[in-house]
Amino acid sequence: MRALSSAALVVGATLVGASGAGVVHRAEPAAATTHGEWVHIKKGADSIRAYVAYSERKDKAAGVIVIHEIFGLTDWEPTVVDRLAKEGFVAIVPDLLSSKHGKTPKDENEGRKLVGELEPERVTADLDATYAYLNALPSVRKGDIGTIGFCWGGGQSFRYATDNPNLKAAVVCYGPAPDTAAMRRIKAPVLGIYGENDARINAALPEVNAAMEKHGKTFTQEVYPETGHGFLKPGRQGNDGPQPQRAWDRILEFYRARLGK
């Protein structure tokens, strides 16, 4: 089912056909690609380390902020940024541990612990700084910016939509929803991508649907069969089947409808 307008809700899960076992990779994030680079975004006395990649096009592009999982910025998220750049967007992933801790530690358990200690206000401020940086790039169409987040980052993508009324689109990949009362502040249409075997997250979807409907918001949820939590990342349940590509096709369709090509 599709969202029809910014004042309409699309309810109900869409099952879209697969298997694997979970591993979290911990390594220094990937080196910059031909059209990508590591940058430091100033935020008061702090700075935010981020990876940004540009599309090959002659006109300005929409922008996408990628929000990492609970393990911090790993070697995987820059590949998501590169993927979006190849699809015509200017994309950026901030290391949300960097303004407080310098960068994500290599140890995944330590990264998870530190991310769990981040204050929502700090995360919002870092995302605001990232949004301002991306929006000011000469190659980005001003105002045409969305977010995508995974796991913890999916929850932050949803929550950030309650704090930034200028967002044009928000994608939530198997992340929890914000407080239902805060949903009334959301302006952007929201697309939720969920794994079928992820009851911890999916059990709340009826309540999320009801709250978004109550506040007149656009929320489309899609549940992908035979997949688990985190299925868009290599090594997770369902990543070796057809569902990740189907999910990415839907995400790109959503962005092109909401952000433009």
pLDDT tens-digit map of 98-145: 999 999 999 999 999 999 999 999 999 999 999 999 999 999 999 999
**In this structure, are residues 250 and 52 in contact, taking their beta carbons and an 8 Å threshold?**
no
Among the listed residues 7, 51, 56, 64, the one whose alpha carbon sits nearest the alpha carbon of residue 254: 64
Residue 82 lies in a domain: yes
CATH code of the domain in which 156 resides: 3.40.50.1820
Tell me how far apart the alpha carbons of residues 192 and 214 are, in angstroms, rounded to a whole number.
17
Give residue 207's domain range: 13-259
Any domain includes 6: no
pLDDT at 159 (0 to 100): 98
Answer whether residue 2 is part of any domain.
no
**Segments of the chain with pLDDT less than 50:** 1-30, 32
Distances from the Cα of 105 to the Cα of 25, 102, 139, 249, angstroms: 12, 9, 32, 32
Per-residue model confidence (pLDDT) at position 20: 34
Q: What is the pLDDT of residue 31?
A: 52
The residue to which tokens 């200028």 are assigned: 166
Q: Is residue 60 part of a domain?
A: yes
Please say whether the beta carbons of 160 and 154 come within 8 A. no
Give long-range contacts, CB 8 A cutoff, 24+ apart: 122-128.
Answer: 123/96, 123/156, 123/160, 124/159, 124/160, 124/163, 125/43, 126/43, 126/48, 126/94, 126/96, 126/99, 127/65, 127/67, 127/94, 127/96, 127/156, 127/160, 127/163, 127/164, 128/163, 128/164
Question: Is 26 part of any domain?
Answer: yes
Query: Is 3 part of a structural domain of the chain?
Result: no
In a domain, 4, yes or no: no
Handedness of CA 25, 16, 9, 87 (dihedral sign): positive
- In the chain, how many domains are there? 1
Q: Tell whether 65 is covered by a domain.
A: yes
